[in-house]
Amino acid sequence: MTSAQSSARRSITQSYRFQQALGLWAIRIILIIACLISLFPTLYVVLYSLKGGGTSLYSPTLIPQKLTLDNYTKLLSSQFPLWVRNSLILGGFSAAISVMLATFAGYAFSRLNFAGRRYGILILLIIQMLPTVGSLVAIFRGFQIFGLLNSLTGLILLFGFGGSALAVWLMKNFIDSIPKELDEAASIDGATNWQTFWMILFPLLQPMLVAQFIFGFIGVYNEYIVTTVFLSDSKLYPLGVGVRLFSTQFNTNWTQFCAAAVLGSIPIMIVFFLAQRFLVEGLTKGALKG
């Protein structure tokens, strides 16, 4: 190989590396810009919550001239902590019930043989596509009959036992990814279906259980339409309905509204950061095999 050929090859290699590095930096810059655009509304809400009381969202500067915690102090002395507690109760119990039912249903569709097993999960997914708003009248009438209107218990039963077909489908796929040889080995040792499920499969389901709980919790925690229809007592309001009281017929206290948004998002962030490892693992395994 001549020196000219070696020089040409080095030039091509350097050019390729330069183009590769340039492409990587271009991707990084695009991602940074996208992150800044996504974070700007959050930053605006946080800064506006530190502004003095006001009914206008307009601000001549991004950073308020005078920062104050008055909005947070007023929130903590109002019914806001009660609304957060109600949201935590609704989200926690509803998600726990939903995860329990999805786990049992997912195990049945994955491991047990019964009539309609093949099409049952498809029927559940089709039913899930129907809007909840369309059935509110029937649900409202049922709540009237059983005396569950204006109660957290009724909403917990609705959200928990209403369940999620997607949760059942993901749980089934996750259980499908677990080798059936484990079930067969347990059966040879004389284990029943329940013993196999509880002692063999259940410990392996932790990532999916956590993922389903998080999504169920967040969905109920942020619920607005259904809770607005079934609750009339402000002491029973969850967070999404309670902050509506900051808006009257003539104006809205946007600074307190922003402060409520900041404080109200803290429980969700805590739950997410504590369980993000299980969330990624659960969704990855649950979606790979269908």
State which CATH number among 1.10.3720.10, 1.10.490.10, 2.60.40.1180, 1.10.150.80 fits the domain covering 71-288: 1.10.3720.10
Domain ranges for the chain: 1-49, 71-288
The pLDDT tens digits of the residues spanning 258-278 come to: 889 899 999 988 888 887 776
DSSP sequence for 80-92? HHHHHHHHHHHHH
The answer to whether 123 and 169 are in contact (CB under 8 A) is no
Nearest to 47 by CA among 37, 28, 31, 60: 60
What's the pLDDT score for residue 221?
A: 92
Chunked in runs of 10, what are the mean pLDDT values of the chain (290 residues)? 60 70 87 90 86 64 76 89 94 93 89 80 78 81 90 91 80 86 84 85 86 89 89 89 74 82 90 76 53
The pLDDT tens digits of the residues spanning 119-178 come to: 887 887 787 777 777 788 888 899 999 988 999 999 999 998 876 777 888 888 888 888
The answer to whether 91 and 152 are in contact (CB under 8 A) is no
- The pTM (predicted TM-score) of the whole model is 0.80
